[in-house]
Amino acid sequence: MSSTRFQRILLKVGGESLIGDRDYGIDPQAALNVAERIKSIHEKGVQVAVVIGGGNIFRGISASKNGIDRATADYMGMLATVMNALALQDALEKSNVETRVQSALVMPSVAESFVRRRAIRHMEKGRVIILAAGTGSPYVTTDTGASLHALELQCDVLMKATKVDGIFDKDPVKFPDARRFKTLTFADAINMPGVEVMDTAALAMSKENNMPLMVFELFKGNNLQEAVEGGDVGTYVSNDVETAFA
Ligand code: UDP
């Protein structure tokens, strides 16, 4: 057992974290940078499941606006997450972290199929489990996959790594006066105008099942290590807090 606050976490990493300086696709060095962060908490004995996105390669909703059938485009997006999962697996194993990829779309030549009890067993044996293909169903994103997997794998918390350090009252990239929340209720995360966290479906599932959510920047300082130790990083979303600015 680890001595950290959280023993088992679900880390949601967007596909863009693998893009590096490119406009599109996978930069192996960026994958290694993500792997290094994951390794730093794995070394502390934290059990880690990673849900990887696909936005660096393909997003269903954008492709459907350009004329591809929405469900087909979403399946293409899920395939993109499988490519990212393999890239992250490669980077983690190069960093001497044992891993397994499990996919919600059956693909036996490249990944195990998602089996809940098996995923838990892998984590108990010290393997980082990388979950590909989100939920395996179209019309949602990997955020919903992350919320679902956090619940069924009995994680202590869902951590969403983002490009900005937490949740703001408006887009901090566009508005320099945007303010960061230190804590946020799920109700406010869902209903407050201007606040964008993750899909409503994902938030609703986390809210109804009391799965706390932390949102922070993966590459800022030692954010991930501090987060698993219960440090005050990014924004903490729960049913048990009051909404407050940092
Ligand atoms: N996707 C899906 N169902 C899922 C997960 C993902 O249809 O359960 C598709 C969807 O088209 C999405 C794409 O896969 O746009 C890539 O995932 P996402 O946009 O969540 O990636 P991220 O933004 O996290 O990189």
Residue to mutate, 74, 135, 197, ligand 1, most ligand atoms under 8 Å from C-beta: 74
Q: Which pLDDT score, from 0 to 100, does residue 192 have?
A: 94
Q: Which pLDDT score, from 0 to 100, does residue 2 have?
A: 73
Mean pLDDT value of segment 156-178:
94
**Percentage above 90 pLDDT, the chain:** 96
Residue to mutate, 26, 51, 66, 81, ligand 1, most ligand atoms under 8 Å from C-beta: 81
> How confident is residue 225, by pLDDT bands cut at 50, 70 and 90?
very high
User: In a 3-state reduction of DSSP, which class is residue 230?
Assistant: coil
Q: Report pLDDT digits (tens) over 178-202.
A: 999 999 999 999 999 989 889 999 9
Q: What are phi and psi of 155, to 5 degrees?
A: -75, 155
Q: Which pLDDT score, from 0 to 100, does residue 242 have?
A: 97
Instruction: Report if residue 232 sits inside a domain.
Output: yes
Q: Which domain holds residue 204?
A: 8-245
- Inter-residue contact 214 to 146 (CB < 8 Å): no
Query: Total structural domains in the chain?
Result: 1
Return the minimum-mean-pLDDT range out of 30-39, 76-85, 167-176, 204-213.
167-176
Q: Which pLDDT score, from 0 to 100, does residue 1 have?
A: 65
Q: Report pLDDT digits (tens) over 87-146.
A: 999 999 999 999 999 999 999 999 999 999 999 999 999 999 999 999 999 999 999 999
Instruction: Report if residue 234 sits inside a domain.
Output: yes
Q: What DSSP string runs through 106-164?
A: --TTTSEEP-HHHHHHHHHTTPEEEEESTTSSSSS-HHHHHHHHHHHTT-SEEEEEESS
Distance from residue 245's CA to the centre of ligand 1 (Å) = 30
Q: Report pLDDT digits (tens) over 4-16.
A: 899 999 999 999 9
Instruction: Report if residue 1 sits inside a domain.
Output: no
Instruction: Report if residue 2 sits inside a domain.
Output: no
Q: Report pLDDT digits (tens) over 40-56.
A: 999 999 999 999 999 99
Instruction: Report if residue 118 sits inside a domain.
Output: yes
Q: Which pLDDT score, from 0 to 100, does residue 3 have?
A: 81
Report CA dihedral (93, 133, 228, 87) to the nearest 10 degrees: 30
User: In a 3-state reduction of DSSP, which class is residue 105?
Assistant: coil
Distance from residue 103's CA to the centre of ligand 1 (Å) = 13
Distance from residue 239's CA to the centre of ligand 1 (Å) = 26
Beta strands 47-52 and 112-113 are unpaired
CATH code where residue 131 lies: 3.40.1160.10
